[in-house]
């Protein structure tokens, strides 16, 4: 009977460890996990972009290591993308939408429709 109880306990502990691994998956709707949920930065220089990104990452991902950011153009929007890692978590990319002025967010984004209504070609 003790052997059966021990076997059940070991089996349950093993299943519990696998379930814990699934909890660590990043939430795709969390700020910065995709271009659609990118953290917005209003900055006039690349030095300020670097400082804002470092500050934000320290606050939201303490103890994580960040690689230098890379700029990407997606449509007409500019993004700074940072790859972060942690010893006990899978690495992930964090997206920052870089805007030179606060009203830049009010302008239509994406690809131009060449003057065609509703983007018809």
Strand-pairing partners, residue 108, are none
Q: Is the pLDDT higher at 12 or at 88?
A: 88
Average pLDDT, the chain: 76
**pLDDT attached to residue 60:** 93
pLDDT band at 10 (very low <50, low <70, confident <90, very high): very low
pLDDT band at 113 (very low <50, low <70, confident <90, very high): very low
**pLDDT attached to residue 22:** 44
Q: What is the mean pLDDT of residues 76-91?
A: 92
pLDDT reading at 97 higher than 70:
yes
Q: What are the strands, taking DSSP E only, across 43-103?
A: 65-66, 70-74, 77-86, 89-99
Report residue 52 as tokens.
């804002």
Separation CA 77–CA 73 (nearest Å): 6
Residue 83 contacts residue 92 (beta carbons within 8 Å): yes
Separation CA 102–CA 35 (nearest Å): 18
Q: Which of 17-21, 34-38, 62-66, 77-81 has the lowest mean pLDDT?
A: 17-21
Task: Kindly state the percentage of the chain with pLDDT values over 90.
Answer: 45
Separation CA 44–CA 53 (nearest Å): 14
Q: What is the mean pLDDT of residues 81-90?
A: 92
- What is the model's pTM? 0.65
């Amino acid at each position: 009977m003790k052997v059966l109880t021990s076997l059940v306990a070991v089996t349950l502990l093993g299943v519990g460890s696998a379930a814990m691994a699934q909890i660590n998956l990043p939430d795709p709707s969390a700020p910065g996990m995709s271009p659609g949920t990118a953290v917005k930065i209003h900055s006039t220089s690349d030095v300020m972009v670097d400082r804002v990104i470092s500050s934000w990452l320290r606050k939201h991902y303490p103890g994580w290591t960040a690689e230098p950011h890379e700029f990407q153009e997606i449509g007409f929007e500019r993004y700074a993308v940072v790859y972060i890692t942690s010893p006990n978590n899978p690495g992930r990319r964090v997206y920052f939408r870089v805007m030179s002025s606060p009203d830049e967010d009010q302008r239509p984004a994406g690809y131009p429709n060449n003057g065609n209504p509703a983007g018809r070609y």
